[in-house]
Structure 1
Amino acid sequence: MKTLEFSYIFFIFPILLVSCKDQKNGGWTTEEKDVVKQVKTKCNIERHDANELTQKEFLKRYAYSEPVIIYNIDNEEFKKLTEKSEMLETWRDVDVTLNSANTYSYTRVPTTFGKYIEEKMKPQNLEMLGNETLYLFGDIDQKIWKPLLEKYRQPEWELPGHSAALSFGIAGAGTGVPFHFHGPGFAEVIHGSKLWFLYPYEQRPKWNPDKTTLEWYTYDYPNLSREDLPLECEMQPGEVIYFPDKWWHATLNIQSSVFISTFLSP
């Protein structure tokens, strides 16, 4: 009898481990073979506790000069609403538009949310170009998605004279956007994890706009001199990064990730 009890526990224990792991990432699972292996694990971007960063300090130290990662962000309600099972139940048949994962994102492919999640959202591989890789980010109907977006607690720090617009995204492991720049903004990871790479505008990085961030990270990044290394950090749930105007940045999803950006414009 004891032997049978031990065998039962032995066989269900791995299942329990997988279940807990899936639950931790909101059901957005990534097979171990698809998780991006990091070249170096470091974070050289200043970090600041959300509970201690005042509006005055934000404007003085970061708003116009350098990126900052703000942790202890509370978006638990939005996190719950963006779990995989919850999203498929609510949004499966809603139309969405996918973008190509290259610098200019000029390809647009219409589909439904359910088809994207269950058929088109795949891990990135090194053989695929960025303009051949599709992911969901930004191109959603704000009116249709309002019930979800209004549950997101936007960053409380403000840039005078700027208004905010939200862009919501979900993408597979290894995907991301190559280097580009635009106006200032915040970006938060809700589920999963994402690497960010940044340079000030005057330090233009070298990259091929149609090749993926994964390819750049695999082949180019390891050969950069110390002077050419970017600011970088792995973003986790409960963290938001702020980037000032015209900072070059690229992203790389370590695993399947749900994320949202708050773009600021005059």
Structure 2
Amino acid sequence: MVRFSVKYLPTALFSLKDSNATNSGAKSLFLPSPYSVKMALLNQIITIEGVEIFNPKEEETTKGKKKKLQESEIFEAIRDAKISFYLPQGSKFCVNNAFVKILKIKEDKSSKKDKEAGKIFEPGFQETISFREYIQITHPLEIIFEVSDTSQEVFLKNYLHKINYFGKRGCFFQFLEYNDNPPEANVVPFDVKKGLSGILQKYDDFDELVTFEMVNNFSGKSTKRKEEIWVLPLRSRTSSKSYTSYVSI
């Protein structure tokens, strides 16, 4: 296995709600989930190379006949990559609470009497209030990748430095550098047998059986995620009704 890391500096407030949260109210994750990192990577590859790079390829068999591969090897390299994080000591996370206006699909609340009177429901969107959290992160985030060989490392490094946001659109990150000798991750899976202190959050990743069609927004298939609870080495410093400040330990 080959390990390397990428450092990004957050240049705007970060927000990424849990994949199971409702649209009307959601607390934010402190870090980009592995799922969102891989989706950002897919977006950059498609923007530069085109979606054809993920289409099933054909290869020659020993008898001269062609057969289709079930999955693109490029997508498999992204799907199977293991992602973890290292937070430098002293990193501060300031979680700001906010209520924002969003649009949601208008529901048909016409009564039976209205329908009998011939009143026509006009579909569309309507404004509503939603709870959101926006996080200010003071130090760079180091995202650690673990891939099977150096060819996958070289391929991913062609695109990782081109990513400029994670999570919600507008949550900008600035690429800083690659590190071929990354430290051990200090954001680790929760283990009840280990007495680790910190903040618990649930993060999602690509399932082992997911295909490109399942994560493609323009296909009719639904995606598959695997979820894991991580321990973030953070402790609360100060708080009020409008914010909570954390620092890495």
Structure with the higher fraction of residues in strand conformation: 2
Structure with the higher fraction of residues in helix conformation: 1
- Identify which of structures 1 and 2 has the higher relative contact order when contacts are C-alpha pairs closer than 8 Å and 6+ apart: 2
The TM-score, its normalising length taken from structure 1, stands at 0.23
User: Which has the larger Rg?
Assistant: 2
The TM-score, its normalising length taken from structure 2, stands at 0.24
